[in-house]
Structure formats: structure tokens, C-alpha cells
A and B are shown apart, each in its own frame.
Chain A
Amino acid sequence: MSIDSVFVHKMWNDHELSKMVEGGVPYPMLSDAGGKVGTLYGIYDEDAGVETRGRFIIDPDGVVQGYEVLTPPVGRNVAESLRQIQAFQLVRQSKGTEATPSGWKPGKTTLKPGPDLVGKVWEVWKTSMAFD
């Protein structure tokens, strides 16, 4: 979503993005003239008249599970967004019985918070796991 019109979105998709992604952008390219929605989400920069790079993960109940906001010159890390979605999906599937520690990726150990784990995380989770 940006402040550009749907007409400009079409030009950008047809003339540039479709050269990066075969078939063009497969999801809706949303238009937010005046930044009304961006203001609602707290990422509209009134001084510059544009939206900053805000990314929101919204679960199937419509609840915001996470967000990240960057200033314009730095691009996002899509892989990190996907990792977060996978983590939120796992937690949701476990109905909150599991949690994903720092550095978690699909396939890695999760934690099962409860009385027995209090003060024992050091036994099952090592700091190196945040980086591998």
C-alpha cells in the first residue's frame, strides 16, 4: 500500500515489477490517497507526504501479531517476515502451549513454558542457538 493511485500501481507493475516477478505482483497493490489508512496504522509521514516502510502481520482473527517500521532508504527482509509468520502459526497451532525462542526457525526446538521450565531455559536453550 502506498499513496500512489491504482493507475500508477499498474504502470509500475507492468513496466518494472513484472520484469522481476514472472506474471507480475500476485496480490492487491493497494492505494491510499492522502495516507488515511497509513495514518490509522501510525506509519504515515505527514511532513514527507508518504508512508514509511511499515509491515504488519495480521492473524486469521484480524489481530496484529507483529509489525516493523523502517525509514524509506532501507529495505525489508522478506525471509525474516516469513520466519515470524511461521513462528506465529506454530504458536497458534499449539494453542499457546509452545513458544519459539530467540533464533527459532522451522525445525528447531520450541519451548513449553510452564512451572517446570522456570529457571531451566539455560538447560534446553543455548545462546549459540540465537545465531545458527
Chain B
Amino acid sequence: MPTEFKPGCARPTGGPVGEGPAKNAAPKTTIQEKPREASMIKVGKKAPDFTAPAYLKGGFVSVQLSEYLGKWVVLCFYPGDFTFV
């Protein structure tokens, strides 16, 4: 499950796991009308996997969503620490 890491001075970051949106391999002249914005998640479809650094009970750990396969997961986003509600 979550693995501990020693934080350095750089802000630890994570991100999507697996092939993301294909990096523009096509020549620039190709017309690409595809909107850059990711579409909204769909219910009944797989949750995109990601890794993220986390604070957990006194330590810093690295978490990957797919480590939680076999369990129910509630993933909550919020605007920021110390925001009021």
C-alpha cells in the first residue's frame, strides 16, 4: 500500500499513471480539432489511475489509486487546506 518517502526541498508531486493523452506525434500542419480539455469522468467507467504524495498519520507517503483495487474508495477533492467548509 502507500510507501513512505523522505521529502527533499522540492515539492513532491504525482500525476496520471499510464499512457496519457498522446503527445502530439503528428506534424504541426495536421488539423487537430480535439479539445485539449479532458472530458468529465463517466460513471460505470474505470477511474483513471494516478500517483500522489500524501500526508498520512505523521509521515509522508506515495499513494497510487490502483493499490486500492479490491476496496471501496472515496476520492475527495477540495479547494484548499484551511478553506472553511
Instruction: Tell me the A residues contacting B by CB distance below 8 Å.
Output: 1-13, 16, 23-24, 26-34, 36-43, 48, 50-67, 72-76, 81, 85, 88-89
What is the size, in residues, of chain B's interface with A at 8 Å between Cβ atoms? 49
- A30-B52, A31-B12, A37-B52 given; A72·B79 CB < 8 A: yes
- A1-B77, A40-B50, A42-B40 given; A64·B45 CB < 8 A: yes
Q: Contact check, B74 vs A56: say whether CB atoms are below 8 A apart.
A: yes
- A40-B48, A42-B39, A60-B71 given; A34·B13 CB < 8 A: yes
B78: A residues at CB distance < 8 A: 1-2, 51, 53
Q: Contact check, A64 vs B85: say whether CB atoms are below 8 A apart.
A: no
Min CB gap A79→B, angstroms: 13
A5: B residues at CB distance < 8 A: 11-12
Q: Contact check, A60 vs B60: say whether CB atoms are below 8 A apart.
A: no
Min CB gap A72→B, angstroms: 4
Q: Contact check, A12 vs B77: say whether CB atoms are below 8 A apart.
A: no
B39: A residues at CB distance < 8 A: 42
Q: Contact check, B54 vs A63: say whether CB atoms are below 8 A apart.
A: no
CA separation between A56 and B45, bound complex, in Å?
12
Identity of the chain A residue whose Cβ is nearest the Cβ of B42 in the assembled complex: A64
B52: A residues at CB distance < 8 A: 1, 30-32, 37
Question: B residues 26-77 with Cβ under 8 Å of A?
Answer: 38-50, 52-57, 60-61, 63, 65-66, 68-77
Q: Contact check, B76 vs A54: say whether CB atoms are below 8 A apart.
A: yes
- A31-B54, A32-B14, A37-B50 given; A2·B43 CB < 8 A: no
Identity of the chain A residue whose Cβ is nearest the Cβ of B54 in the assembled complex: A28
CA separation between A61 and B72, bound complex, in Å?
9
- A10-B55, A32-B52, A60-B71 given; A41·B12 CB < 8 A: no
Q: Contact check, A55 vs B71: say whether CB atoms are below 8 A apart.
A: no
CA separation between A2 and B65, bound complex, in Å?
15
